[in-house]
């Protein structure tokens, strides 16, 4: 092809999961069920936080943002994956690919920063409880949440801008189920050193700085908890951040595995399997982790459900068994 705009590919082909038609149908049903469940879970959490005054606290304010982010996050990749499982035409336009890449990167970056903000919130609550209300004022919480979203979306602009300036000469086949950075860079027929360098530096910035903040805050948190005299109080203090710590471990483990390992151990099929973990499985598990480990959320969920069915005593007894309250 001639140099310049003529070398620009106008569409890509997402390979996805090539397999038998029967297995394609099974994957479609599975991913659709996971997608609907994940969106429903996060909508329930957001609704509970908005409608219940006892959850109007900084921790749940950030949890509401995380729930909204997770619902958007899974909606960036799964709908296109579901479509490709039932149609023969697996094409995605260049513009559509860049848009998917942008929102995917933006939400990943936002989650990195938001998890660090949530760690700081737990640090203030446990290490300086007397100053918590003053330090984590509503205005400051809004600023932290807004800053997380802005930083994530601005970082994505930088990454996608340099990738979109590359020329792609073909083949236009992406061996993945969504437009990701590494497969697109591999398809470039021009020098991609600048784009790779920008991607690497911004990845270090957006991954390592929040992760470092999280590690430092948890060192202080654990040190403070160990100084609490009563074992019951230590357990109660740690339970307030156990859910967040579990989400951090799952998210950053998968993300660092994908973007921080050497190219020499790169495996495209392994990439897809790991991508399923942090683009589909993790958003589905996070609401369960927060609800099952958090007493206030469980209590609020149970009370809200019982309020909807005040005369169904059999259902009420079953719900009390499934979602034990603090009195139970």
Q: Which one, of 76, 117, 119, lies nearest residue 275 by Cα?
A: 76
- Report the Cα 80 to chain-centroid distance in Å: 18
Tens of pLDDT, residues 245-268? 888 988 888 887 766 554 434 456
Contact 157, 102 (CB under 8 A): yes
User: Can you read off the two tokens belonging to residue 91?
Assistant: 């094409």
Backbone angles phi, psi at 325, to 5 degrees: -90, 180
Phi and psi torsions of 9, nearest 5°:
-70, 135
Each residue of 286-305: pLDDT tens digit?
A: 888 877 666 777 667 666 65
Buried b (16+ CB within 10 A) or exposed e, 86-118: eeeebebebeebbebbbbbbbbbbbbbbbbbbb
List the single range of 27-36, 43-52, 191-200, 286-295 with lowest mean pLDDT: 286-295
Could you read off the pLDDT of 123-134 as tens digits, one per residue? 999 999 999 999
pLDDT of residue 253: 84
Question: Pairing mode, if any, of strands 11-14 and 91-93?
Answer: antiparallel
Confidence category of residue 3, pLDDT binned at 50, 70, 90: very low
Write down the pLDDT at residue 10.
79
Q: Are 148 and 107 in contact (CB under 8 A)?
A: no
Q: Could you name the CATH architecture of 12-281?
A: Up-down Bundle (1.20)
- pTM of the predicted model, to two decimals? 0.85
Q: Within 13 Å of residue 136, how many CA atoms lie on the same side as its CB?
A: 24
Q: What is the reported pLDDT for 328?
A: 33
Report the pLDDT value the prediction gives residue 232, as an integer from 0 to 100: 77
Buried b (16+ CB within 10 A) or exposed e, 156-189: beebbebbbebbbeeebebbbbbbbbbbbeebbe
User: Phi/psi zone of residue 88: left (φ > 0), alpha (ψ -120 to 50 degrees), beta?
Assistant: alpha
Pair of tokens at residue 54: 């006892």
Would you put residue 235 in left (φ > 0), alpha (ψ -120 to 50) or beta?
alpha
Among 102-106, 191-195, 312-316, the range with the most confident prediction by mean pLDDT is 102-106
Residue 195 confidence (pLDDT): 86
- Decide if 225 contacts 237 (C-beta within 8 A): yes
| Residue 39 pLDDT level (bands cut at 50, 70, 90) | very high
Q: Which of 36, 13, 10, 28 is closest to 177 using CA atoms? A: 13
Give the model's pLDDT for residue 116: 96
Region for 16 from its dihedrals, namely left if φ exceeds 0, alpha if ψ lies in -120 to 50, beta otherwise: left
Cα separation values, 274 from 63, 215, 253, 269, 319, Å: 25, 23, 10, 9, 35
Reading across the β-sheet that carries 91-93, which strands appear in turn? 91-93, 11-14, 173-174
């Amino acid at each position: 092809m001639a140099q310049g705009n003529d070398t620009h590919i106008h569409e890509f082909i997402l390979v996805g999961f090539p397999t038998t038609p029967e297995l394609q149908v099974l994957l479609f049903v599975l991913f659709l069920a996971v997608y609907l469940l994940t969106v429903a879970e996060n909508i329930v959490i957001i609704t509970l936080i908005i409608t219940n005054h006892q959850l109007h606290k900084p921790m749940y304010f950030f949890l509401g943002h995380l729930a909204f982010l997770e619902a958007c996050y899974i909606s960036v990749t799964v709908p296109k994956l579901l479509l490709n499982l039932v149609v023969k035409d697996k094409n995605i336009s260049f513009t559509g690919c860049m848009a998917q890449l942008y929102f995917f990167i933006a939400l990943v970056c936002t989650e990195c920063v938001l998890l660090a903000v949530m760690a700081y919130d737990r640090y203030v609550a446990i290490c300086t409880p007397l100053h918590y209300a003053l330090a984590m004022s509503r205005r400051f919480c809004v600023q932290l949440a807004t800053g997380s979203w802005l930083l994530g979306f601005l970082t994505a602009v930088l990454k996608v801008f340099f990738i979109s300036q590359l020329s792609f000469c073909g083949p236009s086949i992406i061996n993945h189920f969504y437009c990701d950075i590494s497969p697109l860079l591999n398809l470039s027929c021009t020098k991609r050193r600048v784009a790779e360098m920008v991607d690497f530096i911004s990845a270090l910035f957006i991954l390592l700085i929040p992760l470092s903040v999280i590690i430092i805050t948890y060192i202080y948190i654990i040190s403070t908890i160990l100084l609490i005299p009563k074992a019951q109080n230590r357990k109660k203090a740690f339970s307030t951040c156990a859910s967040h710590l579990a989400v951090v471990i799952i998210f950053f483990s998968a993300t660092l595995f994908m973007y921080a390992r050497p190219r020499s151990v790169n495996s495209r099929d392994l990439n897809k399997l790991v991508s399923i973990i942090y683009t589909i499985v993790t958003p589905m598990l996070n609401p369960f982790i927060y609800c099952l480990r958090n007493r206030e959320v469980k209590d609020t969920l149970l009370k809200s459900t019982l309020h909807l069915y005040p005369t169904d005593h059999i259902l009420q007894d079953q719900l009390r068994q499934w979602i034990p309250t603090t009195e139970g």
